[in-house]
Amino acid sequence: MSNYILIGNDKITAYVKPVENFLKRLYFRSRKDPKAVFTGLYRELKWPKLLAYAALRVLGNQGAYTEGIDNVAKGLFLRTFEQQIKDIQAEIKEGIDPLAVRRTWIPKPGKVEKRPLGIPAIRDRVIQEAIRLILEAIYEPTFKRNSVGFRCGFSTQDALKDCWAYMQPCKKMQYVLEFDIRKFFDNVDHEILFNILGEKIHDRKLRIAIWKIMKAEIYEEGSYSPNHKGVPQGGVISPILANIYLDKFDDYMIQLADKYTINMIKTRKRKDGTAVCHESGPYGLG
């Protein structure tokens, strides 16, 4: 909490509890009814305590020292914290208008190839974080247990443990498929994602705000360019949007794997008339 000494610990406490209680209500409603739809969320986005809570989380990140195109970094934002929150609240009331995302390139570990990193302005990161908190509370209870990417409390080690556990009951399971979706973040289809969000988020204002975030211009080497697809790596909201998008891919893989497994069992039964050991694993793989 020492990072926020300019704000005061009493105010921090005042922000945290009400916001966490609000997010818990969303979470438990979604967990109780995975098909529940949500309205009135954009109104909550204007809540000063939610914005302050989101700002504290953004400023607690190491990336807060990196400026967006408005040249506002952590120090200045902290010194004018209450005014910054009021300005963000006013922008949300009028309809958000994200600044361009500053693009830089960073090396991929162990590779010559570089990947783009998008750096939004801090004010836009705060808005993204507020939306991310809402989306995560709603969608997290509905994600597949075996989906572990970009989720709090999960890691690649969990995926490896799951694979090992599922391979134990039937010794015939001797391989695991590993593959990568090439340049996934760069190629997310905005319209598809917008429609997926519409299945649960019956608040067009919030979805339009997310649309504007996705469509924010790219600033690179002194020039601006439109963003027709993808979500920027480095955007606060990008991981949860990616998981919402990929949850549909998980559904497809489950159907594909179940269909393959059923057909394989039927084929073997026809050939020798014997039953086949089948233990359902992650995404229906057995």
pLDDT of residue 172: 64
pLDDT digits (tens, 9 = 90+) for 77-135: 999 999 999 999 999 999 999 999 999 998 888 777 888 899 999 999 999 999 999 99
Distance, in Å, from the CA atom of 75 to the CA atom of 79, rounded to the nearest integer, reads: 6
Distance, in Å, from the CA atom of 147 to the CA atom of 154, rounded to the nearest integer, reads: 9
CA angle 114, 119, 120 (to 5 degrees): 155
Token reading at 105: 């390139």
Long-range pairs for 148-157 at CB < 8 Å and ≥24 separation? 149/239, 149/242, 149/243, 149/246, 150/239, 150/240, 150/242, 150/243, 151/243
Binned at pLDDT 50, 70 and 90, residue 13 comes out as low
Mean pLDDT over residues 33-57, rounded?
Answer: 95
Helix (H) or strand (E) holding 120: none
Is the pLDDT at 65 greater than 70, yes or no? yes
Q: What is the DSSP secondary structure assignment for residue 282, as one 8-state letter?
A: G
Minimum mean pLDDT among 39-53, 166-180, 216-230, 238-252: which range?
A: 166-180
Distance, in Å, from the CA atom of 182 to the CA atom of 145, rounded to the nearest integer, reads: 24
User: Could you tell me which of 135, 132, 113, 166 has the C-alpha nearest to residue 279?
Assistant: 166
Token reading at 82: 């209450």
